Amino acid sequence: MLNLLIPHDLPQARPERPGTALQPMRLGGSTMGTDWSVTCHMPRGMQADTIRDAAEAVFAEIIRQMSTWKPASLISQFNRLPLGGAIELPAAFAHVLEVTLQVAAATDGALNPCLGAETSRLGFGPASDSSVPHETAHDAWRTLAPTGHTLTRHAAYQLDLSAIAKGHAVDLLAVALRDLGITRFLAEIGGEFVAGDPKSDGLPWWVDIETLSAATRWRVALCGQALATSGDYRKMRFENGQRLSHITPHPAAAPADGDLASVSVLHASCAMADAWATGLFASGPATGLRLANAHGIAALFQFRDRPAAPSDTLKRMQD
């Protein structure tokens, strides 16, 4: 069964006039441990390398600031600071932290950027100070209060913004494309999407949400919006018969919540979609669906052994 999701504010189809000097282009590569791609209609005469160079510059800056795998990155430097030490935050880092804290507060810490040590302890991150008490890290996000552009390390935790950094990178990639005069595009990093204006034929960019079953599909019409998915259906491992996820569940999540495989979120911002997808997944399906409905989030909850559950906002998009 195919479920079509069409946002109510989808722009009216406006095809390019005949003779408009645009040419289709698709290119991609690897970054941040995954793949990226851009499908676009670019001005004739523009070289694909121009787009590639702009994309690589975006990725390099995000990695320089927020990669926990790079010892020289800004976030790694922060994690090595003694208590009371501080760093100056560049714009991208500050924005990602702001989005993170907004969703952390809305989800009562289900989205928690202070669990880097726990992620590493479970085998999903780089080696770090695993001596940070689990309970301490769960509350440490409340101490993340930048003063202007300065962030001080007030508690012993390992900051990890990986849940949102990739989404923000797609947002910045979209900005870079528009700066090049490319407005009709679909940009993607590892399954996180941002769409610009409709395609040259006036139709939206149709994106299929990845599903566990071929029997049911969810297809989204994207124009000027973003789609992000978080889950453990790909990134997990088993230890002593227990499923371990790279997304640490909220302490209040029930054991039965392990049936949840992924959460996909549609939003104007890919960073925000990424943040909500992770926060809702970590909350568990019951609390996550309640939060999505309370905050008007368009979200799809997919399970391993039962039908998917759309939020109220997403239901209103079903064609």
> Binding site for Mg(2+), residues?
163, 274, 278
Task: Kindly report the backbone phi and psi dihedral angles of residue 49, in degrees, each rounded to the nearest multiple of 5, phi listed first.
Answer: -65, -25
79: nearest Cα among 144, 4, 18, 124: 144
Q: Known binding site: residues?
A: 163, 274, 278
Within 8 A by CB and 6+ apart from 10, the residues are: 204, 221, 223
Q: What is the CA radius of gyration of the chain?
A: 20
**Residues 273 and 266: beta-carbon distance below 8 Å:** yes
